[in-house]
Amino acid sequence: MKLWDKGLAIDKKIEKFTVGNDRELDMHLAEYDLKASKAHARMLGKVDILTSEEVKSIEIELEKLQQQLENGSFEIEEDFEDVHSKIEFELTKVLGDTGKKIHTARSRNDQVLVAMQLYFKENLKEISGKTKQLIDVLLGLADKHQEKLLPGYTHLQVAMPSSFGLWFSAYAELLIDDLYLLEAGLKVVDQNPLGSAAGYGSSFPIDREFTTKELGFSTLKYNVVAAQLGRGKCERTVTSNISSVANTLARFAMDICLYMSQNFDFITFPDELTTGSSIMPHKKNPDVFELIRGKCNKLQSIANEMILITNNLPSGYHRDYQLIKENSIYAVENIKEILDVFIHSIALIKVKDINLQDEKYKYLFTVDSINDLVMQGKSFREAYQIIGGQVQEGTYEAAKGKKHSHLGSKDNLALEEIRRKKDQA
């Protein structure tokens, strides 16, 4: 059954090509299409297009389908193009002509739009929640390890003293920036497109404010053409926001891979979180973080894909939009899994004691030495030249590390301020 079926046969090769993998993808959207169909039926009853008995009978059947979805028996068979045609078929099979009335005053276009936006809306909230959970874990680690020094690097050269507290809380605060973007994405998708039909509205006297309230949207996408143009824009926005989270996690994962290597040897993880080599028995590989890095880099490419597919499309619907469904859902589902794995793994990190007397850290405190001379009355430029000369001559002796007292430095992490920022986000 096809929603656009006019009784004409279609070439099977063309049918396979145009349907693609919508059936599999639409399992992610089924609950949202059921929810939107229920709100649409109630609205049709409110404006007297359906009787109250028809609305009730449709609601009962939609509830049955929801139960099937929850117990795992709901299936979109190969006879159907997508979840929308499956649901309408099931309603019609039981209710006859009443089931056929569910499509009154809507199009598959706004069906897809509203299902996708409800899916994005719920999942952006879930992604934000997981991101906040990771921030809390990192701030806890920062608090626990704030006294443990960590060599800081620039250009991958030993630079200045840092701390594990500074490292953990740095990524925590970066993730708060990502929360801001997730919130912006939520505002974009939290606008009801239902009622825009094929993109030009309907001559039926529908009540779009009613469905907005029923579906829990904050507002309407008032202009029906703007609602249709939202297809692609929502996907670009959501995948771009996810890309920002992925960027932060990919960089963090790279640090972890680097710091686990014997050349750095700053951290380690329990054996059960690492893998070995088939020929080198000493290996303890950070595969989980290498995969996180690779998966996050892949996620960052998806936003560009969304732009390339939709960039030069004119107004109105085009079948090109079908191609953005798969990877936008992929981005949502994968970032959730990545966050779960990251939260689980990073909580088990083991911070090592670093021997700062090692020769390679000899110049870690040169800046502190310069600052000591400045505090004794020398100009910064003169102090820089003195310490620089000692380094060149090989006579530099590291001073004992100084406390860094300013807000946000290694000895004043501002963890409570970062927590407040997270709560406000």
pLDDT for the residue numbered 402: 83
For 270-292, the pLDDT digits (tens) are: 888 776 555 665 657 789 999 99
Distance CA 266, CA 256 (A): 9
pLDDT for the residue numbered 23: 83
Q: Average pLDDT of 178-188? A: 98
Distance CA 303, CA 155 (A): 29
Question: What would the two tokens of residue 81 be?
Answer: 């193009």
Q: Where in the chain is the domain with CATH 1.10.275.10?
A: 12-101
For 386-410, the pLDDT digits (tens) are: 999 999 999 999 877 789 999 999 9
Amino acid present at 26: D
Distance CA 54, CA 38 (A): 12
pLDDT for the residue numbered 19: 54
pLDDT for the residue numbered 4: 41
Instruction: Classify domain 12-101 at the CATH topology level.
Output: Fumarase C; Chain B, domain 1 (1.10.275)
Length of the chain as a residue count? 425
Q: Are 99 and 92 in contact (CB under 8 A)?
A: yes
Is residue 3 predicted with pLDDT exceeding 70? Answer: no
Question: What would the two tokens of residue 198 be?
Answer: 């094929």
- Taking the CA atoms of residue 391, residue 394, residue 400 and residue 403 in that order, the dihedral angle to the nearest 10 degrees is 10
Q: Which residue has the higher pLDDT, 55 or 79?
A: 55
Chain-wide mean pLDDT for the chain? 93
384 Cβ partners below 8 Å, 6+ apart?
370
Is residue 307 predicted with pLDDT exceeding 90? Answer: yes
Q: Average pLDDT of 328-349? A: 97
Q: Are 199 and 314 in contact (CB under 8 A)?
A: no
Instruction: Classify domain 108-199+230-351 at the CATH topology level.
Output: Fumarase C; Chain A, domain 2 (1.20.200)
Q: Which residues of 211-247 are buried (b: 16+ CB within 10 A; e: fewer)?
A: bbebbebeebbeebeebbbbbbebbbbbbbbbbbbbb
pLDDT for the residue numbered 376: 95
Distance CA 211, CA 216 (A): 8
Is residue 18 predicted with pLDDT exceeding 70? Answer: no
For 371-381, the pLDDT digits (tens) are: 999 999 999 99
pLDDT for the residue numbered 274: 72
- Residue by residue, DSSP assigns 77-141 as -TT-SSHHHHHHHHHHHHHTHHHHGGGTT--HHHHHHHHHHHHHHHHHHHHHHHHHHHHHHHHHH
Q: Where in the chain is the domain with CATH 1.20.200.10?
A: 108-199+230-351
First-to-last C-alpha distance (Å) of the chain: 46
pLDDT for the residue numbered 278: 53
